[in-house]
Chains A and B, each alone.
Chain A
Amino acid sequence: MGVIRKALTSRPVTTLTSPNTIDDYLEHIHPMLAAANVRARVVAVHRETGEASTVVMRPNGAWKGFVPGQHVQFGVEVEGKRRIRVFSVSSSRAAGRRKGRGRTFSVSVKAHPDGYVSQFLHQELQPGTIVYLSQAEGEFVLPREVPANLLLVSGGSGVTPVMSMLRTLRDTGHRGQVTFLHYARSRDDEMFTGELDEIAATTDFRVVRVYTRQPAPGAELAGRFQVDHLKHLGVDASDTLTYVCGPAGLIATVRDTYDELGAGDQLRLEYFKVPTVDLDAADATGTLSFEDTAIAAPNTGATILEQAELAGLKPDFGCRMGVCNTCAIKKNSGAVRHVVSGEVNANTDETIKICVQVPIGDVAVAL
């Protein structure tokens, strides 16, 4: 398939299909058929906990695979509208191959109370559904040569990328010293409980889980992360490559600890944060972030176009009255209100005309 895919995306074919690409034609034969667009069919949806689920997918041939720790943009279509969120891959890189049927991989997601996509995944997603993906992205990955000492620290649903690492290390028969340290509120709240028990029992990896609210009887560690936890586990921070993924509080603590121990260079971090959307926020509160240029400014209550210009950016614009679509850009997250109709839109990743939209609370746009 590699040769055919290469041929279909080659210059001569693009010349013949211009201004379209071959995928603009192939998708009408079958939605999974594409030379470059990554699509996947949902194979199964497993409930991990009362709030979290794992989606197993079989991608089409355009998928280039992932490195444990990476994430993927995951789009589902509901009522004609594609909703996109970024989720971490949780499966093992080595697993998922079944003869003749291609490979599968999975993402695991904790349903956020206001998260449309995560709720949809948890409640309604059916096997057989086609989902729209990006290639795997992200630098929070294991090195090609895994060093002798490795520590994986995670909190809550931040477990997903390090779970992919742990599973891959297990499946590839990794021989080094691996410590897996996970913080969850309770055992009921923990994802992958059964499999973590199994890995603890069947491998040499040290698997330690700390339940912060309902500690297990006789647990070796308790409470939130602190330097004593490292000491207890016998981890020498300066000699252990450490991956941390979880809420900002956990990451800050681990980072401060490693800095104090002079081991900051051993640390690899991934933040888990669900952007907050406050529909009831008063006018002119929160921060307007221009993510492409890494500029952020307090929301003044003016239209996003005016605020961008005030921040020194020069976005394209035309009529400035919501007619011509020249200023349309992606809003990455947050809620906006249309200045004429008063309509509020709070979806992640949607196209808006910035000349007639004011931010409500924190908003991030692609400018």
Chain B
Amino acid sequence: MPFTLKKKPKNAPIKPRSASKHNAAPLTLINPFSEEPATIGLEYMTREQLDEFGRELDAVRQRVLDDLGQKDADYIRRVIKTQRAAEVAGRIGIFMPFFPPAFVAGIASLGVAKILDNMEIGHNVMHGQYDWMNDPMVNGARYEWDNVAPAQDWKHGHNYIHHTYTNIHGMDRDIGYNLLRIDPDQPWYGTHRFNLPLATVLMFVFEWGVMYHGVELDQYLQGKISKDDFQARKKRAMKKIRKQIVKDYVAWPALGLALVPFVGWWAPLAILGANVGANVIRNIWTFLIIFCGHFPAEVETFAEEDAQNESRGQWYLRQLLGSANISGSAPFHVLTGNLSYQIEHHLFPDIPARRYPEVAEDVKRLVEKYGLKYNTGRLSKQLRSVARQLAVYGAKPSDPLKVGNSPESKALRRAKREEAARRLELAGETQLTS
């Protein structure tokens, strides 16, 4: 085995240091001015119990990791094989616009293929759930999905921001996606009157919403990301959009030109329409599953101040309280990418999703032990809850502090900014960017 020769350097006499201090908050949740521990979860358990809770969940995680092997590899490959078969069958089906049963089945099959690719394969692989297999085909850093949102920016917004700062106001950009008001602690703006119609439109074009969310125009306008960063995001998004549009709406319909002599001038248009249909099927499905994962009533949200300096146990608890499950049959769970086990997914985002049902048993045991809430219900129940939230929180609140552009809110925000600037000046530190 070839290696370049390098002289083995003498080790500097460095004191051995144990690296066990990682039972701590993620980087930007550390309060630079105070070491006071976070208050999350104190209404449910003591600090000792929170630590024990964290240790118990760490043990569950480790037990699953130790058990990963052939069956998990076989499972994801079987799903991928099914996805590829559904995609090929779908592409063949939509090439038969002259035979409506095959054509319609083709649209459905292609829609299912896109759902499997986005959910059980793409979402989970990009979390690094299968990195341990060391197979480039299922490597989280390498995978790109069949969706207009580029993987890189989605991973940043989802894996990092959303999964680390879950349901913290001002940090998790997935609370209402900067478009909807689904929580009483979000400031109300005029557009929120249209919560329900906006959400309905978003449902049909969901992949575009995900892509736009990843470009982070709002962050750029607020000065939270640099112009270079923003331009790079825009460029990546345009490139991915081009690829997806050329594939679904140009290249495949163009192949349909071959059908024109036999079927008629409308054959390419039928294929184009079928591609649109499959994408919309996927959009509706992913929208429903994702909205039911965090937006039903009783899902908790948090203030940044409460989460600063949180412990590992508190981080776990925040994930548990901030997510909701959907109950259903085994095929249903596969089609949701096992995101119907949203709670388990948020506790352990990087263990293969097929393990969530088994993990759920442990989670329920701990929920019972510590008297916590475990939010679960059928899709219809969770959906009704989400719709009710959208309707209720779309109405203008009577409290002026809840209205985003009321004079009271503006004054409060200014006061907070000045306070932060004053503390920074005192600490003589440069501003931390989130």
Q: A residues touching B (Cβ–Cβ < 8 Å)?
A: 12, 15-16, 18-20, 24-25, 27-28, 71, 75, 77, 79-88, 138, 140, 248, 251, 270-275, 282-287, 289, 296, 298-303, 318-326, 328-329, 339-341, 343, 347, 349-351, 353, 356, 358
Contact across chains for A85 and B1 when beta carbons are under 8 A apart: yes
By the criterion CB–CB under 8 Å, are B5 and A298 in contact?
Answer: no
The answer to whether B8 touches A287 (Cβ under 8 A) is: yes
| Complex Cα spacing A272 to B247, Å | 47
* B17–A284 touching, CB < 8 Å: yes
Closest residue of chain A to B250, judged by CB?
A15
Cβ of B6 within 8 Å of any chain A Cβ, yes or no, is yes
Residue-wise interface mask of B (53-77) relative to A, using a CB-CB cutoff of 8 A (1 in contact, 0 not): 0000010011001101111111000
Q: Which residues of A contact B126 (CB under 8 A)?
A: 325
Task: Give the Cβ gap from B119 to chain A, nearest Cβ, in Å.
Answer: 16
Q: How far is the CA of A332 from the CA of B127 in the complex (A)?
A: 21
Could you tell me the distance in whole angstroms from the C-beta of B47 to the nearest C-beta in chain A? 18
Contact residues in B for A25 (Cβ distance below 8 Å):
84, 88
Min CB–CB distance A82 → chain B (angstroms): 4
Interchain CB contact under 8 A, A24 and B137: yes
Of B3, B6, B244, B350, the most chain A CB neighbours within 10 A belong to: B3
Residues of B within 8 A of A285 (CB): 11, 16
* Known A-B contacts A272-B1, A323-B26; A284 and B9 likewise in contact (beta carbons under 8 Å): no
A interface footprint on B1-40 (CB within 8 Å = 1, 0 otherwise): 1111110110110111111101111110000000000000
**Contact for A284 among B15, B164, B244, B252, CB less than 8 A:** B15
- B128 lies within 8 A of A301 (CB): no
B139 within 8 A of A: yes
* B177 neighbours in A (Cβ, 8 Å): none
A13–chain B nearest beta-carbon distance, Å = 10
Give A322 Cβ to nearest chain B Cβ, in Å.
8
Given A12-B251, A298-B12, A324:B134 Cβ within 8 A: no
- Let me know if B349 and A82 touch, CB within 8 A: no
B160 within 8 A of A: yes
Residues of B within 8 A of A283 (CB): 16-19
Q: Nearest chain A CB to B358's CB is how many angstroms away?
A: 17
A211–B315 Cα distance when bound, in Å, is: 63
Residues of B within 8 A of A77 (CB): 73, 135
Q: How far is the CA of A321 from the CA of B21 in the complex (A)?
A: 11
Contacts of B327 in A (CB 8 A): none
Measured CB to CB, the closest approach of chain B to A274, in angstroms, equals: 6
Contacts of B276 in A (CB 8 A): none
- Nearest to A85 among chain B residues (CB) is B1
Q: Say yes or no: A323 contacts B135, CB within 8 Å.
A: no
The listed residue (A19, A296, A340) touching B145 by CB distance below 8 A is A19
Contact present for A301 and B16 (CB under 8 Å): yes
B362 within 8 A of A: no
A-B contact pairs, 21 of them (CB 8 A): A16-B251, A18-B243, A24-B137, A80-B69, A81-B73, A88-B2, A138-B2, A282-B16, A284-B15, A298-B14, A300-B17, A319-B26, A320-B26, A321-B22, A324-B160, A325-B131, A326-B159, A328-B128, A340-B23, A351-B128, A351-B131
B207 contacts partner chain A, Cβ-Cβ < 8 Å: no
Q: Are B160 and A318 in contact (CB under 8 A)?
A: yes
Report the bound CA distance from A347 to B85 in whole Å. 34
Complex: A19 Cα to B126 Cα, angstroms? 14
- Interface digits, B104-138 against A, CB 8 Å rule (1 contact, 0 not)? 00000000000000000000001110011111010
Known contacts A12-B251, A299-B11, then 7 further A-B pairs from the complex at CB < 8 Å, ordered by chain A residue: A15-B246, A271-B3, A282-B16, A302-B17, A318-B164, A324-B159, A351-B140
Does residue B298 face the partner (Cβ distance < 8 Å to A)?
no
Contact assessment for B70 and A19 in the assembled complex, using a CB-CB cutoff below 8 Å? no
Question: CA separation between A271 and B385, bound complex, in Å?
Answer: 66
Whether B19 lies near A339 (C-beta < 8 A) is: yes
In the bound assembly, the distance between CA atoms of A337 and B21 in angstroms comes to 14
**Residue among B61, B72, B128, B246 facing the most chain A CB atoms (10 A cut-off):** B128
CA distance A249 to B85 in the complex (A): 55
Q: Which residues of B contact A358 (CB under 8 A)?
A: 19
- Cβ A80 vs Cβ B133 within 8 A: yes
Interface membership of chain B positions 330-351, coded 1 if the CB is closer than 8 angstroms to chain A and 0 otherwise? 0000000000000000000110
CB pair B11 A272 closer than 8 Å: no
Q: Is B156 an interface residue (CB 8 A)?
A: yes
A15 touches B80 (CB 8 A): no
* B163 proximal to A (CB < 8 A): yes
Please report which residues of chain B, range 350-380, place their CB below 8 angstroms from some CB of chain A when the two chains form the complex. 350
Residue of A nearest to B144 (CB): A19
B51 at the interface (CB under 8 A from A): no
A323 pairs with B163, CB closer than 8 A: yes
Docked complex Cα distance between A20 and B144 (Å): 8
Least distance between A246 CB and chain B CB atoms (Å):
11
**Contact between B11 and A287, CB atoms less than 8 A apart:** yes
Q: Once bound together, how far apart are the Cα atoms of A80 and B76, in whole Å?
A: 10
- Inter-chain contact A319/B27, CB cutoff 8 Å: yes
In-complex Cβ contact of A81 among B18, B27, B133, B243 (8 A): B133
